[in-house]
């Protein structure tokens, strides 16, 4: 079935780019090509078994330049240029993000993500279609940046490389829609002017004398509207048919084709004036609807990509001490401290400490990369050793951190029963029902009133548009995402709103989540400590991101020592050694050797063998051992967050509550009183235990939300349906979490969850609105009471009404929840 946009039959279409071939085209295996460049690209794809590319779209290829200037990309071999372009580089691999403005369809995405088959040095290629970007990781020993760019250019996707500013840029939408809309508006206005004799009796003389001539002019004006302005609908419908499914644009394309064909027949045979006024108006008003949708989506995308970032905090070093600031305030020349398990927020030079960077978020490799003083450290690496001091050399790109946050490696399985899936499924059935109704309408009026036959047929195809149904979910949840962001709950994407609204189980970490460690009272019990020992304990505690360690370092407040060894065992504690040979262990009783018959070994293990733990204490304890000898312990009188009691009282009426804590069960009576007798309280939980508990709850069919500190609970946050990382002042950025909540808003968690449930009701209300509109519209269209142009006006109005109603209802829900 040929497309109406194909070239005349006298010329062949190029197999690669789809352009017209010359009279004597180049050929390969019987396939025609317009130039040697296209034939070369076809040979390249064919040699690598990638010709499925041509089956994904009608015209997948792009015109390839025949003349390539020698040495055009040689500048990419320069170290200075690579330093600006590369987002990450290690001894073995590098990665960068490039803008690909030529990307436009499914086949483009398919080919670009299969680049590793064209160049074995490319490890991964990941496309961000909305931003027209591709992120490429490649092996330095196999290929180079220049060869990667040359490959992209050779297959028709030459990247747009600008070195002036490499930060996130606003999305620039294509201007094609504006040209299509302008042409349709021009044709519509003139055709309506020529159709005046058909509408008003006082110009009947014009109709008698010039009616046939006006019809021909209208046909000439409508033809470019069909071939250019309406090509978006035809192309989309044809792509759907090639993929063996009927999309939303198919009935619209069918209606346009029937309307134009009937009108052309009437004009050419002289049997009537045709419906060119309705045809051009139909295209014009539908393009207005598309323009409104594009503007709204662009606004949502811009808002998400550039103004609604989560406030990842950075520990900046100043002459007066440490200061916690947002990454938005980080500038070149600032000195920062990155602790164990924290993520480096910007490219920086290592000034102090030994860097052990885990770049698995960036490159997929979990092997730590060692960095010494004076070497460059790339953004996105997670520090695995003791705390290091860095100096920022490139301004932070929050777009890059967002890219890490949305890395597919941390994506969770989408619910098969999501509202988006439901809308798409209903939309497909709705299109099929529309086609049946349209054909039935055509058959009925053909036998009763032929003058209404095509008008009713076209009206049914145009007005029965399920696009309003498809718009309900993204616009309602997108508005909810922005509302929550204004109140310091930052979500990874709009789908998290739906997950929070469906949740029935809430699981809390204790230390740093339920408790406010900054207010805890700290007391030491044990043999007296020397100043040197206090200094070492404070330095070791400062290397950890655990809230108790940070509170202890703040309490002791000694000048930092130089450590030659430091490591943290998750769920156990931290071990460090100073240059003088003094070794300290901080953490759990067994880890520090308290209550053990034999002294602890100099090298700790992840699962230390213990004989018996000391008796339970009514407060949280951090035990200390110096040079393998138990010394004493620090007690922390837990201070729970002020709004906790009221929050749990609200949550307990609707949700199943649970606590997973790595501490002892000394706080069980207080927590049981706060959470209620039905809550599940589990203590001495390792990270693996927390993960297993959440996996078990999900296996029982519960929708689980985990609220933790984002670092020690990374596994549990990832295992839950939705993971919320609570942050005070630390850089609690973890790609495993789905949301980041500022600790100052913790008391409003029940409000946020209630608002999420209200947003799901808003989506259902817009579904009902869409169904009612389509039901009434179809009933009138089947009876022939609508003209095609009225249907064309009502169709974008329905979509616009759904968007407006969704936004207003979300705002109303926000006001009811005092957001």
Which of 80-94, 300-314, 419-433, 623-637 shows the lowest mean pLDDT across its residues?
Answer: 300-314
pLDDT tens-digit series, residues 219-229:
889 899 988 98
**Residue 579 belongs to what domain range?**
517-637
The confidence score (pLDDT) of residue 781 equals 79
CA dihedral 365, 370, 373, 378 (to 10 degrees): 0
Q: Please state, in angstroms and as integers, the Cα–Cα distance from residue 669 to each residue in 649, 682, 687, following that order.
A: 16, 12, 23
Q: Which of 637, 664, 697 is the last residue of a domain?
A: 637
Q: Which CATH number covers residue 537?
A: 3.40.1110.10
> H or E stretch including 775?
helix 749-782
Both 318 and 301 in one domain: the answer is: no
Residue 634: strand pairing partners = 524, 622
pTM given for the model:
0.63
Both 522 and 619 in one domain: the answer is: yes
* Structural domain contains residue 143: yes
Contact residues for 320 (Cβ-Cβ < 8 A; gap 6+) = none
Whole-angstrom distance, CA of residue 491 vs CA of residue 479 = 12
Whole-angstrom distance, CA of residue 616 vs CA of residue 285 = 74
Residue 202, pLDDT above cutoff 50: no
Q: Please state, in angstroms and as integers, the Cα–Cα distance from residue 399 to each residue in 235, 356, 727, following that order.
A: 33, 24, 20
DSSP character at residue 373? T
Please check whether residue 157 is in contact with residue 112, taking contact to mean a CB–CB distance below 8 angstroms: yes
Please check whether residue 380 is in contact with residue 343, taking contact to mean a CB–CB distance below 8 angstroms: yes
Both 62 and 88 in one domain: the answer is: no
Average pLDDT, the chain: 75
Both 175 and 302 in one domain: the answer is: yes
pLDDT band at 292 (very low <50, low <70, confident <90, very high): low
Q: Could you tell me how many residues make up the chain?
A: 819
Contact residues for 20 (Cβ-Cβ < 8 A; gap 6+) = 7, 11, 12, 13, 14, 34
The listed range with the strongest mean pLDDT (43-52, 450-459, 601-610) is 450-459
Which residue, among 472, 646, 620, 609, has the nearest Cα to 551 in the 3D structure? 620
Which residue, among 182, 175, 398, has the nearest Cα to 295 in the 3D structure? 175
Which residue, among 689, 280, 296, has the nearest Cα to 509 in the 3D structure? 689
Residue 676, pLDDT above cutoff 60: yes
Q: Quick check: helix, strand or coil at residue 301? A: helix
pLDDT tens-digit series, residues 105-118:
666 777 788 888 88
Share of the chain above pLDDT 90, in %: 5
Which of 66-75, 112-121, 671-680, 703-712 shows the lowest mean pLDDT across its residues?
Answer: 66-75
pLDDT tens-digit series, residues 754-789:
999 999 888 888 888 877 877 787 788 788 777 666
Q: Which CATH number covers residue 397?
A: 2.70.150.10
N-term to C-term CA, the chain = 54
Both 189 and 289 in one domain: the answer is: yes
Sheet (strand 388-392) strand order: 321-326, 313-318, 335-338, 388-392, 348-352, 376-377
Both 194 and 302 in one domain: the answer is: yes
If one counts every other C-beta atom within 10 angstroms of the C-beta of residue 425, the result is: 10
Q: Quick one: tokens of 293?
A: 């949708």
* Structural domain contains residue 281: yes
Helix, strand, coil share of the chain (percent; to 5): 50, 15, 35
Residue 452, pLDDT above cutoff 70: yes
The confidence score (pLDDT) of residue 532 equals 82
DSSP character at residue 614? P
Please check whether residue 652 is in contact with residue 504, taking contact to mean a CB–CB distance below 8 angstroms: no
Both 293 and 181 in one domain: the answer is: yes
Q: Quick one: tokens of 70?
A: 């020698």
pLDDT tens-digit series, residues 31-85:
776 665 566 666 666 666 666 656 555 555 544 444 455 667 777 888 877 877 8
Both 596 and 552 in one domain: the answer is: yes
- Backbone phi and psi for residue 659, each to the nearest 5 degrees, phi listed first: -125, 130
pLDDT tens-digit series, residues 555-601:
887 666 777 777 777 768 888 888 777 888 888 888 887 764 333 33
Which of 254-263, 628-637, 746-755 shows the lowest mean pLDDT across its residues?
Answer: 254-263
* Structural domain contains residue 723: no
* Structural domain contains residue 541: yes
pLDDT band at 165 (very low <50, low <70, confident <90, very high): very low
* Structural domain contains residue 271: yes
* Structural domain contains residue 695: no
Higher per-residue confidence, 415 vs 449 = 449
Which of 245-254, 255-264, 331-340 shows the lowest mean pLDDT across its residues?
Answer: 245-254
Both 260 and 332 in one domain: the answer is: no
Total count of domains within the chain: 6
Whole-angstrom distance, CA of residue 417 vs CA of residue 567 = 44
Q: Which of 239, 273, 307 is the last residue of a domain?
A: 307
Whole-angstrom distance, CA of residue 195 vs CA of residue 192 = 5
Q: Which CATH number covers residue 82?
A: 3.30.70.100
* Structural domain contains residue 395: yes
Both 240 and 276 in one domain: the answer is: yes
Both 143 and 228 in one domain: the answer is: no
Which residue, among 95, 123, 114, 98, has the nearest Cα to 44 in the 3D structure? 114
Q: Which of 124, 154, 184 is the last residue of a domain?
A: 154
The listed range with the strongest mean pLDDT (47-61, 685-699, 798-812) is 685-699
* Structural domain contains residue 736: no
The confidence score (pLDDT) of residue 216 equals 85
Both 368 and 260 in one domain: the answer is: no
């Amino acid at each position: 079935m040929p497309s109406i946009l194909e070239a005349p039959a006298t010329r062949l279409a190029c197999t690669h780019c789809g352009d017209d071939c010359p009279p004597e085209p180049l050929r390969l295996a019987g396939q025609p090509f317009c130039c040697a460049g296209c034939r070369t690209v076809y040979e390249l794809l064919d040699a690598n078994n990638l010709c499925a590319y041509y089956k994904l779209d009608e015209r997948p290829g792009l015109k390839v330049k025949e003349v390539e200037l020698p040495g055009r990309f040689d500048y990419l071999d320069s170290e200075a240029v690579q330093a600006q372009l590369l987002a990450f580089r290690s001894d073995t691999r590098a990665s960068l993000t490039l803008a690909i403005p030529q990307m436009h369809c499914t086949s483009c995405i398919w080919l670009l993500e299969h680049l590793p088959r064209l160049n074995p040095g490319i490890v991964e290629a990941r496309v961000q279609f909305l931003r027209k970007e591709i992120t490429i990781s490649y092996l330095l020993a196999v290929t180079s940046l220049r060869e990667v760019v040359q490959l992209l250019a050779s297959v028709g996707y030459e990247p747009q490389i600008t070195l002036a500013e490499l930060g996130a840029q606003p999305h620039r939408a294509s201007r094609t829609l504006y040209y299509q809309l302008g042409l349709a508006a021009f044709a519509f206005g003139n055709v309506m002017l020529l159709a005046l004799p058909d509408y008003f009796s006082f110009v009947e003389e014009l109709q008698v004398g010039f009616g046939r001539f006006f019809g021909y002019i209208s046909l000439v004006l409508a033809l470019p509207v069909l071939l250019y302005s309406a090509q978006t609908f035809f192309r989309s419908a044809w792509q759907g048919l090639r993929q063996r499914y009927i999309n939303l644009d198919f009935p619209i394309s069918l209606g346009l084709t029937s309307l134009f064909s009937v009108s052309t027949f009437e004009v050419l045979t002289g049997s009537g004036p045709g419906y060119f006024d309705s045809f051009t108006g139909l295209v014009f008003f539908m393009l207005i609807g598309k323009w409104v949708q594009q503007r709204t989506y662009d606004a949502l995308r811009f808002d998400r990509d550039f103004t609604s970032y989560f406030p990842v905090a950075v520990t900046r070093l100043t002459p007066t001490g440490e200061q916690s600031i947002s990454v938005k305030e980080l500038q070149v020349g600032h000195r920062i401290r990155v602790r164990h398990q924290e993520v480096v927020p910007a490219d920086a030079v290592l000034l102090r400490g030994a860097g052990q960077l885990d770049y698995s978020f960036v490159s997929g490799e979990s092997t730590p990369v060692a960095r010494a003083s004076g070497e460059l450290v790339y953004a996105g690496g997670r520090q695995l050793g003791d705390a290091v001091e860095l100096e920022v050399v490139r301004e932070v790109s929050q777009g890059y951190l967002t890219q890490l946050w949305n890395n597919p490696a941390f994506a969770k399985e989408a619910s098969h029963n999501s509202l988006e899936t439901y809308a798409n499924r209903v939309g497909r059935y709705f299109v099929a029902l529309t086609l049946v109704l349209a054909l039935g309408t055509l058959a009925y009026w053909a036998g009763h009133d032929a003058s209404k036959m095509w008008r009713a047929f076209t009206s049914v195809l145009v007005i029965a548009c399920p696009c309003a149904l498809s718009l309900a979910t993204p616009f309602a949840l997108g508005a909810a995402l922005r509302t929550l962001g204004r109140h310091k709950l930052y979500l990874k994407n709009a789908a998290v709103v739906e997950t929070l609204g469906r949740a029935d189980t809430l699981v809390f970490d204790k230390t740093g989540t339920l408790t406010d460690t900054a207010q805890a009272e700290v007391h030491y019990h044990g043999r007296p400590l020397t100043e040197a020992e206090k200094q070492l304990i404070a330095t070791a505690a400062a290397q950890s991101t655990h809230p108790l360690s940070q509170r202890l370092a703040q309490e002791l407040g000694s000048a930092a020592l130089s450590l030659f060894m430091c490591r943290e065992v998750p769920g156990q504690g931290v071990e460090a050694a100073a240059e003088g040979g003094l070794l300290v262990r901080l953490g759990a009783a067994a880890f520090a050797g308290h209550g053990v018959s034999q002294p602890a070994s100099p090298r700790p293990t992840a699962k230390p063998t213990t004989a018996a733990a000391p008796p339970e204490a009514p407060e949280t304890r951090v035990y200390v051992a110096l040079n393998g000898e138990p010394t004493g312990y620090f007690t922390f009188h837990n201070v729970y967050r002020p709004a906790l009691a009221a929050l749990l009282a609200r949550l307990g009426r609707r949700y199943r509550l649970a606590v997973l804590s790595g501490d002892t069960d000394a706080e069980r009576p207080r927590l049981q009183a706060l959470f209620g007798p039905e809550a599940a309280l589990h203590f001495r939980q390792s990270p693996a235990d927390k993960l297993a508990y959440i996996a078990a709850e999900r296996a029982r069919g519960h929708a689980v939300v985990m609220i933790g500190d984002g670092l020690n609970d990374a596994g549990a946050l990832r295992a839950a349906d939705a993971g919320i990382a609570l942050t005070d002042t630390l850089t609690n950025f973890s790609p495993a979490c789905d949301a980041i909540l500022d600790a100052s808003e913790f008391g409003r968690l029940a409000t946020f969850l209630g608002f999420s449930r209200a947003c799901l009701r808003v989506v259902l209300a817009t579904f009902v609105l869409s169904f009612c509109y389509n039901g009434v519209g179809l009933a009138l269209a089947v009876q022939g009471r609508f003209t095609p142009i009225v249907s064309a006006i009502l169709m974008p109005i329905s979509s616009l009404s759904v968007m407006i109603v969704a936004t207003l209802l979300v705002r109303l829900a926000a006001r009811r929840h005092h957001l």
